[in-house]
């Protein structure tokens, strides 16, 4: 092990280590842990029964159902697109690639309020397609389709964003080998590419789903806040909170915190799997 003897030279002094660790963890506790813990404390303040009741009112159930439907439409669409786009971007050479990558990223850079607003501008009564839609009695804004469209826009980049860097570092050798051995395009995709990317793909899908279920700003603009009809879970949390039903608001909010917890656990899992995959490779390298 060369360099072992000089390692102590680049270690920070103990007091620096302790101070920085304390500052870092203090900041994290104050700014991130405290609000998260508070959700559960406030939700359970009035007892378990109130907590469960808040989650099982008809309005809460409607909100949960709407959120699930929205995610069930938006997530598969964006997953299919993300897969296709990532494959196309990393496996073929063509002009304008950087432009397309920036376009995919665009929804990340747009305020959620603006994301919702473009849906209203396009489909709302004074919007481009508004008069035509009205004439045909199709409701998009202030109804389920609008919520779904806004959600698709906001969650658009997640899967592609997760897959593109992964596919880039992975290279094409295995796929070329499969091609030489006579596999067709779809066969290569399902037998070689997909098994390799499954963990990144899973994480992308989970991130996409988390955002789809949790989106607030964009959905708030297009929903119209019709109780029992166009209230998603985050919007329902807002209503409860504004009505001073704090315990109920935090009970419903805790569902969304659990969703975030699942997302983070999935992230850790994917990181472990990625490390497992890398380890044998580096071990056998000459």
Partner 1 sequence: MAYLGLVVLIPLSTLALKASSLSWDQFWALTTGPRALASYRLSFGTSLAAAGVNVVFGAVLAWVLVRYPFPGRSVADAIVDIPFALPTAVSGIALTALYASNGWFGGPLERLGVKAAFSPLGVGIALTFIGLPFVVRTVQPVIEELDREMEEAAAVLGAGRLQTFLRVVFPEMLPALITGFALSFARGLGEYGSVVFISGNMPGKTEIAPLLIMTRLEQYDYPGATALAVVLLLASLTILLAINRLQSFVRARGGMA
Distance CA 278, CA 274 (A): 6
Closer to partner 1 at the Cβ: 34 or 138?
34
Task: With contacts defined by CB under 8 A, name the span among 168-176, 185-193, 246-254, 276-284 that binds partner 1.
Answer: 246-254
Among 153, 158, 166, 199, the residue binding partner 1 under the rule CB under 8 A is: 153
Tell me which residues in 83-102 interact with partner 1 (CB under 8 A). 85, 88, 100, 102
User: Which DSSP state fits 1?
Assistant: -
CB nearer partner 1, residue 66 or residue 253: 253
Q: Please identify which residue in 144, 174, 246, 273 interacts with partner 1, judged by CB under 8 A.
A: 246
> H/E/C letters for each residue in 80-105?
HHHHHHHHHHHHCCCCCHHHHHHHHH
Interface with partner 1 in residues 207-236 (CB under 8 A): 210, 213-217, 220-221, 234-235
Residue (121 or 202) nearer to partner 1, CB: 121
Query: Taking CB under 8 A as the rule, does residue 1 contact partner 1?
Result: no
* Interface positions, 37-76, toward partner 1 (CB under 8 A): 38-39, 42
| Contact status: 143 vs partner 1 (CB under 8 A) | no
Nearer CB in complex with partner 1: 17/65: 17
Among positions 172-211, residues that touch partner 1 (CB under 8 A) are 210
Which two three-digit tokens encode residue 186?
Answer: 């779809």
Q: Per residue, what are the HEC states of 194-257?
A: HHHHHHHHHHHHHHHHHHHHHCCHHHHHHHCCCCCCCCCHHHHHHHHHHCCCHHHHHHHHHHHH
Q: How far is the CB of 219 from partner 1 (least distance, A)?
A: 10
Which residues in 7-36 contact partner 1 (CB under 8 A)?
A: 7, 9-10, 12-13, 16-17, 20-21, 23-25, 27-28, 30-36
Q: Which of 52, 72, 113, 194 binds partner 1 (CB under 8 A)?
A: 113
- By beta-carbon proximity to partner 1, the closer residue of 51 and 156 is 156
Q: Does 111 bind partner 1 (CB under 8 A)?
A: yes
Integer angstrom CA distances of residue 85 from 54, 113, 128, 190, 200: 42, 26, 28, 16, 15
CB neighbour list of residue 277: distance below 8 Å, 6 or more residues apart:
199
- The answer for residues whose C-beta is within 8 angstroms of residue 169's C-beta and 6 or more apart is none
Contacting residues for 63 by C-beta, under 8 A, at least 6 apart: 231, 232, 233, 235, 236, 252
């Amino acid at each position: 092990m060369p360099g072992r003897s000089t390692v102590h030279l680049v270690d920070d002094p103990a007091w620096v280590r302790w101070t920085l660790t304390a500052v870092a963890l203090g900041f994290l506790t104050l700014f991130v842990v405290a609000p998260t813990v508070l959700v559960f404390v406030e939700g359970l303040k009035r007892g378990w029964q109130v907590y469960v009741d808040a989650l099982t009112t008809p309005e809460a159930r409607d909100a949960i159902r709407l959120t699930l439907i929205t995610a069930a439409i938006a997530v598969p669409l964006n997953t299919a697109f993300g897969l296709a786009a990532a494959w196309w971007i990393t496996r073929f050479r063509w002009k304008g690639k950087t432009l397309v990558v920036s376009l995919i990223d665009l929804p990340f850079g747009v305020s959620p309020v603006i994301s919702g607003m473009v849906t209203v501008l396009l489909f709302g009564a004074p919007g481009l397609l508004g008069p035509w839609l009205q004439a045909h009695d199709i409701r998009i804004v202030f109804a389920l389709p609008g919520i779904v469209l806004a959600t698709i826009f906001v969650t658009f980049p997640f899967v592609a964003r997760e897959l593109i860097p992964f596919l880039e570092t992975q290279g094409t050798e295995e796929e070329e080998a499969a091609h030489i051995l006579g596999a067709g395009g779809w066969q290569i995709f399902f037998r070689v590419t997909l098994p390799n990317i499954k963990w990144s793909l899973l994480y992308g899908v989970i991130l996409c789903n988390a955002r789809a279920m949790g989106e607030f700003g964009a959905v708030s603009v297009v929903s119209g806040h019709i109780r029992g009809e166009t209230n998603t879970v985050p919007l329902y949390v807002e209503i409860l909170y504004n009505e001073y039903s704090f315990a109920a608001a935090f009970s419903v909010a805790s569902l969304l915190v659990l969703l975030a917890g699942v997302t983070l656990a999935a992230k850790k899992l994917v990181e472990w799997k990625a490390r497992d995959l890398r380890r044998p490779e580096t071990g056998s390298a000459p």
